[in-house]
Structure 1
Amino acid sequence: MIRYNLKCENAHQFESWFQSAEAYQSLASAGMVECPGCGSQKVEKTLMSPGVTTSRKKAATPVEAGSHDAQPVMSAPDPKMAEAMAKLRKHVEQNSDYVGSNFAKEATAMHLGDKPSRSIYGEVAPEDAKRLAEDGVPAVPLPFIPKAKTN
């Protein structure tokens, strides 16, 4: 997995995880990488600094927030981020079909051409998500739990 810092044409900055650099290129060229703030598909990678820690530095400095070893800190949600998440959820729910736990099966069938292509969302087990990525099936994790799972 690789994390990229991204910026849209409207200067909104965000980050996203991808299976590989090739997966990012494939999704970006297909118009599937979209700004969560404004929906723009004109997105580019921005400068990132790698998270390199030497054993001496690790022992001498406390864990930085956001590193893999950091403990989560609970705080009030950023209102702009909450608004962007709500907007993303609304867009996904209005423009996609909810397929529940059949997501991996449906996405694979569409990828192989066995079913017509359409926008779907749902749940997938971690091992199935890994298989989808390995098979090159275009899928991205959503930053929210579908409403169908919250009632």
Structure 2
Amino acid sequence: MIVFDLICRDGEHLFEGWFGSSRDYEDQLRAGLIDCPICGSAAIEKAVMAPNVGIKANQRSSAATSSANQMDVSGETENKQPISNATEISPEYSELVGKLAKAQAKILEKSKWVGADFSEQARAIHYGEKDASPIHGTASKDDVAELEEEGVEIMPLPLPVNPPESQN
């Protein structure tokens, strides 16, 4: 699989496209099978991308080594951070994200950060073992599925949350 950053020429919306190969991308583009998920425009082209060049194993930095040491058994890092290679954000999108961030901050105002203990705390509240109170934290996909199966009311947050200990 190959991932291309794509941009629609009509609305300048940036999005990702996953393809089996460069040729698959070209074939789908020619056939008109690729359109912007935001505005529906078929005027699509590849966005400028920086190459993803890995470092040699013998030149791995301490940060890379530390990151590699944080891998769990599923191959995912424990401390994921949101990233983007978008070089320019439209004013409309920036305003929308700003409003979303304010709404989320309002929701979390009276909520307590419980970190990785979220699943345990949510269960304790659900089963009456702990007083009901709003909490937020992190949970794996499996934990989320189990909570939903048990009928524990939870909802994903639209934007990432920095744990209190990592904020300055």
TM-score (normalizing by structure 1): 0.50
CA–CA separation in structure 2 for the residues paired with 1:110 and 1:64 = 45
Percent identity over the alignment is 25
- 1:80 deviates by 2.7
Match of residue 76, structure 1, among 89, 93, 107? 89
Q: Deviations over 1:44-80 (max 9, x none)?
A: xxxxxxxxxxxxxxxx54133339xxx9994616133
2:137 aligned partner, one-letter code: G
Describe the shift of the 1:85–1:135 C-alpha distance in structure 2 as closer, same or farther (beyond 3 A).
same
| Counterparts of 1:92 and 1:147, CA distance in 2 | 15
2: CA distance between counterparts of 1:83 and 1:102?
Answer: 29
Question: 1:103: Cα distance to partner?
Answer: 0.7
Find out whether 1:142 has 2:157 as its counterpart. Answer: yes
Q: Which amino acid counterpart does residue 116 of structure 1 have in structure 2?
A: D
TM-superposed deviation, 1:146 = 1.5
Structure 1: stretches of 5+ with no match in the other structure:
1-59
Give the AA of the match of 2:35: E
Residue 127 of structure 2 is matched in structure 1 by 112
CA RMSD of aligned residues (A): 3.0
Task: Within 5 Å, give how 1:1-151 maps onto structure 2.
Answer: 60-66=31-37, 74=86, 76=89, 78-148=93-163, 151=167
Q: Larger relative contact order (C-alpha < 8 A, sep ≥ 6)?
A: 1
SS at match of 1:147: coil
* Cα distance, 1:100 vs structure 2: 0.6
Gaps of 5+ in 2: 1-30, 39-45, 47-83
Q: Which residue of 2 aligns with 1:7?
A: none
Cα distance in 2 for partners of 1:137, 1:106 equals 11
Give the counterpart letter for 1:83 in structure 2.
G
SS in 2 for 1:144: coil
Return structure 1 stretches of 4+ with deviation > 4 angstroms.
71-75
SS at match of 1:116: coil
Q: Which amino acid aligns with 2:153?
A: P
Letter in 1 for 2:102: K
Amino acid in structure 2 at the alignment position of 1:76: I
Instruction: Say which one has the larger Rg.
Output: 2
* SS of aligned partner of 2:109: helix
Partner SS, residue 84 of structure 1: helix
How many residues are matched? 92
Question: TM-score, normalised to structure 2's length?
Answer: 0.46
